[in-house]
C-alpha cells in the first residue's frame, strides 16, 4: 500500500472560533508550503523541524529531500540519510543541476505513475521534498532567471506527481505569480500589508516572538464538528526541533534524536548504510587530496588507455576525466587569462613525466616565459628542451662550413624539428634561416636534414603566439610543417599540446589547425565562447542556445573537455596542482 497522506505536525493553532488549540498539521501530498518571515523570526528552525519529522516518519524508500540553500544555515543536513542533495548558491552549476534533477524526477514519476496521481498509484516512486531557503535571493539574482519558469512548473505540476515544494522568503515582492502554487502559507513577524498579500485578508498582529505567526488551515483538525471554514489564517506557534538539554519536559533532545537516527538508518564510521542516492558537491578547490576523496568509479570503464592522465572530475557523476595522451595526437587548450590554463598544462606534463620517464618534452614558448617554471621542474629528471628567446645559434652545413646566426624562437624551433624529427623542405622552410640562396639547389643541399634514429616519445608544448599569426614565416608551421608531423605522429610517437590557443584571423590557417585537433580543453564559459568565436574554433558549430540551457557559467577551476573524434563534451572541475 502506498502513501495516501504525508501529515507532518509542525506546531499548534489557536482557533478561538471553535475554542480549540489543535495541532498545526501539513499534508505534504496535499500542499506546497511557503513560509514568510523577517530575519531571525524562526524560518530556519521551521525547516529544521520539518526535515527532522521526515526522518522520523519515513525511510529511504519513501522519501528523498533536496535542499537549495540561499540562506547558508542548512549545510549541516547534507550528510543526513534522506537528504539526497544539498546545494548552496556558491556555484551556478549546482542551481542548474538541482532543477535538472527535479525536471528528470518529474518526468520519471509521470512515467512510473502511469497517468495516476501519486496518492492513487499502487507503485509509488519515493516522494520528493524540494526545499529552497530564501527564495527572494534566488529571484533577485539575474543569472537564475532561466530557472524561475522551471520552479513555476514544479509548483504547478509536481504535487500530484509526488514532488512537494517548500520555500522560505523574507518578503512577498516579486512572488505574486507563485502564490497560487502554495496552498499552505505561513507568516511569522511581518508588516500588516504583507499579511494581506499572503492571506488575501486581514489578520491580527504578532510581536517579535520567533516561531509565532499565522497559518491557514489546510488539514481539518481532529475533533472539530459542525461547520468549520477551511483555509482561513489563524494564529500558530511552530515547534522547535529538539528540547534543550537543560530543560525538563516532553520531547527528545538533539542527542536523543541523533542516536535514534543512527539506529534507524544503520550508521557506521563510513556513514549511513541506509540512505537515498547522494549527489556530491565540489570543494572550493579540488586539491589532489580532495580529488581522491570524492572521485567515483565509472560504471562501465572498458577502454584501455596507453598513457592515461586524469585532470579532474566531471560535474555529473564525479568520475575522473582521463585523456589518453598516446591517442590524442593534437591537444589544444583555450581559455581566459588566469583561469587555469597553466595549472592544466602542469597536470598534463607531470602526468606524462610520471608515467613515461623515457619521454622527451620540447617547450616552445614566447616572451611571456610561462613555460620556464615547468621546464625547470623537469630539467635534470628527464629529457627536455626549452626554446623561448632570441639566441645566437651555431649552424653546421653539410659541406663542413659553420655559421653563427641570431635566430627567433620560431626559427630555432624549425631548425630543431628539421635536425631531430623530420627533414623539412629546404628552399621553402630553411634557406633563409641558414642564410643560403634558396634559388640555388646546390646551396640548399648543404642544409642538413634529419638523419638520426627515431627519437623517443616526444611531446611538443607550443605556447608561442607567433604560430597563430598569418605572417608568411609564422604561417608555415601550422600550414605545412605540422601536417607532416601529425601524419607520422602515431608511428613516430609525437604529441602536440597547444597550451594557449590564440584567435586566428587567417581563415585557411584556422581551418588547417581545426582539422588536426583530436581533443580540446576550454577554460571559459562555453556558450559565450562559441558565440563570440563563431566558426573559428572546434566549438563553433555547437548550438549556443542549447549550450546556455545545458551548462551554467564556469567558476574558477571549471572547464570543458571535448573529445573531437567521439564528439563527447564534458564539464569538469580541474585538480588544483
pLDDT at 112 over 80: yes
pLDDT digits (tens, 9 = 90+) for 469-504: 877 777 888 888 888 888 888 888 899 999 988 888
Report d(CA 170, CA 306) in Å as an integer.
56
Backbone angles phi, psi at 86, to 5 degrees: -120, 115
pLDDT at residue 9, as a whole number: 94
What pLDDT digit, counting tens, does each position of 424-463 carry?
Answer: 888 888 888 888 888 888 888 888 888 777 788 999 999 9
Quick: pLDDT tens for 517-567: 999 999 999 988 888 876 678 888 888 888 888 888 888 889 999 998 888
Identify the pLDDT of residue 300.
67
How much of the chain exceeds pLDDT 70, in percent?
Answer: 97
- Asked whether residue 226 is assigned to any structural domain, the reply reads yes
pLDDT band at 302 (very low <50, low <70, confident <90, very high): low
Three cell numbers, residue 526: 562555453
Domain limits at 101? Answer: 15-272
pLDDT number for residue 102: 94
Q: In which residue are the cell numbers 564556469 written?
A: 554
Instruction: Decide which of 91 and 130 is more confident.
Output: 130
Residue 97 within any structural domain of the chain: yes
**Count of domains observed in the chain:** 1
Residue 246 has a pLDDT of 60
CB atoms within 10 A of CB 445: 14
pLDDT tens track for 304-349 = 778 899 999 999 889 999 999 888 889 999 998 888 999 999 999 9
How many Å apart are CA 178 and CA 155, to the nearest integer? Answer: 8
Q: How many helices (H) and strands (E) does the chain have?
A: 18, 25
Cβ distance 82 to 63 under 8 Å? yes
Q: What integer is the mean pLDDT of 377-393?
A: 90
- The x, y and z cell numbers of residue 575, run together, are 585538480
Q: How far, in Å, are 104, 115, 177 from residue 108 at the CA level?
A: 6, 12, 27
**% of the chain beyond a pLDDT of 90:** 45
DSSP-derived letter for residue 125 is P
Closest CA to 82 of 99, 72, 69, 67: 67
Q: What is the pLDDT of residues 28-43, one digit of tens each?
A: 999 999 999 988 889 9
pLDDT for the residue numbered 468:
84
Q: Is the pLDDT of residue 227 over 70?
A: no
Contact 277, 549 (CB under 8 A): no
For the ranges 161-170, 184-193, 518-527, the lowest mean pLDDT is seen at 184-193
Residue 400 domain flag? no
Print burial letters for 324-348: b (CB count within 10 Å at least 16), e (below 16): ebbbbbbbbbbbeeebbbbebbbbb
- Per-chain mean pLDDT for the chain: 88
**Which range (35-49, 64-78, 201-215, 340-354) has the least confidence?**
201-215
Residue 437's pLDDT is 87
d(CA 188, CA 34): 11
Q: Cα(first)–Cα(last) distance of the chain, in Å?
A: 53
The Cα–Cα gap between 368 and 371 comes to 8
pLDDT at residue 244 greater than cutoff 80: no
Q: CA Rg, the chain, in Å? A: 32
Question: Which pLDDT band holds residue 269 (cuts at 50, 70, 90)?
Answer: confident
- The distance from CA 55 to its chain's CA centroid, rounded to whole angstroms, is 29
Instruction: Please choose, from the candidates 134, 79, 129, 122, the residue with its C-alpha nearest in 3D space to the C-alpha of residue 102.
Output: 129
Query: Residue 99, Cβ neighbours under 10 Å: how many?
Result: 22
| C-alpha cell read off for 30 | 496535499
Residues in the chain: 577
Residue 226: is its pLDDT beyond 80? no
**3-state SS class at 265:** coil
Q: Which of 565, 11, 557, 17 is closest to 291 using CA atoms?
A: 557
Per DSSP, the three-state class of 16 is: helix
Name the band, by pLDDT with cuts 50, 70 and 90, for residue 247.
Answer: low
- Identify the CA nearest to 204 among candidates 14, 364, 369: 14
Q: How many CB atoms lie within 10 A of CB 465?
A: 14
In a domain, 215, yes or no: yes
Measured CA to CA, the distance from residue 508 to residue 175 in angstroms comes to: 53
Residue 175 lies in a domain: yes
544 assigned to some structural domain: no
In a domain, 23, yes or no: yes
Any idea which of 111-120, 158-167, 294-303, 434-443 has the lowest mean pLDDT? 294-303
CATH code, 182: 3.40.50.300
Q: Is the pLDDT of residue 301 over 70?
A: no
Residue 224 belongs to a domain: yes
β-bridge partners, 310: 322
Work out the number of other CB atoms within 10 angstroms of the CB of residue 191.
11
Amino acid at each position: 500500500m502506498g502513501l495516501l497522506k504525508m501529515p507532518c505536525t509542525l506546531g499548534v493553532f489557536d482557533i478561538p472560533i471553535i475554542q480549540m488549540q489543535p495541532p498545526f498539521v501539513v499534508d505534504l501530498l496535499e500542499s506546497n508550503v511557503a513560509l514568510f518571515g523577517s530575519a531571525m523570526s524562526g524560518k530556519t528552525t521551521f525547516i529544521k523541524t520539518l526535515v527532522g519529522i521526515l526522518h522520523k516518519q519515513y525511510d529511504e524508500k519513501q522519501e528523498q529531500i533536496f535542499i537549495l540553500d540561499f540562506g547558508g544555515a542548512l549545510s549541516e543536513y547534507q550528510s543526513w540519510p534522506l537528504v539526497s542533495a544539498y546545494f548552496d548558491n556558491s556555484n551556478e552549476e549546482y542551481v542548474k543541476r538541482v532543477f535538472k534533477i527535479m525536471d528528470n524526477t518529474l518526468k520519471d514519476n509521470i512515467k512510473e505513475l502511469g497517468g495516476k496521481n501519486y496518492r492513487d498509484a499502487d507503485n509509488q516512486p519515493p516522494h520528493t521534498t524540494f526545499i529552497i531557503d530564501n527564495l527572494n535571493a534566488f529571484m533577485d539574482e539575474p543569472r537564475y532567471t532561466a530557472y524561475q519558469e522551471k520552479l513555476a512548473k514544479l509548483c504547478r505540476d509536481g504535487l500530484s506527481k509526488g514532488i512537494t515544494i517548500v520555500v522560505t522568503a523574507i518578503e512577498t515582492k516579486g512572488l505574486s505569480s507563485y502564490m497560487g502554487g502554495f496552498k499552505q502559507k505561513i507568516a511569522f513577524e511581518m508588516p500588516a500589508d504583507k499579511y494581506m498579500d499572503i492571506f488575501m485578508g486581514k489578520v491580527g498582529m504578532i510581536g517579535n516572538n520567533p516561531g509565532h505567526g499565522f497559518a491557514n488551515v489546510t488539514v481539518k483538525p481532529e475533533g472539530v464538528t459542525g461547520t468549520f471554514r477551511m483555509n482561513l489564517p489563524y494564529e500558530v506557534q511552530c515547534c522547535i526541533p529538539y528540547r534543550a538539554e537543560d530543560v525538563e519536559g516532553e520531547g527528545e533532545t538533539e542527542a536523543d534524536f541523533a542516536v535514534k537516527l543512527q539506529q534507524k538508518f544503520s550508521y557506521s564510521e563510513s556513514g549511513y548504510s541506509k540512505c537515498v542516492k547522494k549527489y556530491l558537491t565540489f570543494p572550493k578547490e579540488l586539491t589532489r587530496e580532495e580529488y581522491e576523496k570524492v572521485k567515483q568509479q565509472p560504471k562501465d570503464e572498458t577502454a584501455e588507455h596507453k598513457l592515461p592522465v586524469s585532470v579532474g572530475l566531471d560535474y555529473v557523476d564525479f568520475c575522473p576525466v582521463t585523456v589518453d595522451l598516446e591517442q590524442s595526437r593534437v591537444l589544444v587548450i583555450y581559455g581566459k587569462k588566469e583561469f587555469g590554463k597553466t595549472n592544466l598544462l602542469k597536470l598534463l606534463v607531470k602526468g606524462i613525466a610520471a608515467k613515461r620517464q623515457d619521454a622527451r618534452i620540447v617547450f616552445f614558448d614566447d616572451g611571456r616565459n610561462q613555460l620556464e617554471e615547468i621546464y625547470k621542474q623537469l630539467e635534470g629528471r628527464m629529457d627536455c628542451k626549452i626554446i623561448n628567446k632570441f639566441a645566437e645559434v651555431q649552424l653546421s652545413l653539410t659541406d663542413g662550413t659553420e655559421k653563427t646566426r641570431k635566430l627567433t624562437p620560431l626559427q630555432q624551433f624549425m631548425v630543431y624539428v628539421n635536425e631531430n624529427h623530420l627533414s623539412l623542405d629546404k628552399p621553402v622552410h630553411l634557406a633563409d634561416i641558414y642564410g643560403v640562396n634558396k634559388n640555388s639547389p646546390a646551396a640548399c643541399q648543404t642544409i642538413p636534414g634529419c638523419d638520426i634514429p627515431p627519437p623517443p616519445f616526444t611531446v611538443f608544448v607550443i605556447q608561442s603566439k607567433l604560430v597563430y599569426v598569418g605572417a608568411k614565416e609564422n604561417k608555415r608551421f601550422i600550414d605545412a610543417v605540422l601536417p607532416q608531423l601529425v601524419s607520422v605522429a602515431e608511428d613516430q610517437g609525437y604529441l602536440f599540446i597547444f597550451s594557449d590557443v590564440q584567435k586566428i584571423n587567417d581563415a585557411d590557417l584556422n581551418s588547417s589547425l581545426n582539422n588536426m585537433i583530436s581533443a580540446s580543453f576550454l577554460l571559459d564559459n562555453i556558450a559565450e565562447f562559441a558565440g563570440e568565436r563563431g566558426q573559428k574554433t572546434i566549438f563553433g558549430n555547437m548550438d549556443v542556445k542549447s549550450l546556455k540551457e545545458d551548462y551554467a557559467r564556469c567558476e574558477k577551476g571549471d572547464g570543458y573537455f571535448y573529445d573531437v573524434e567521439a564528439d563527447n563534451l564534458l564539464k569538469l572541475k580541474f585538480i588544483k596542482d
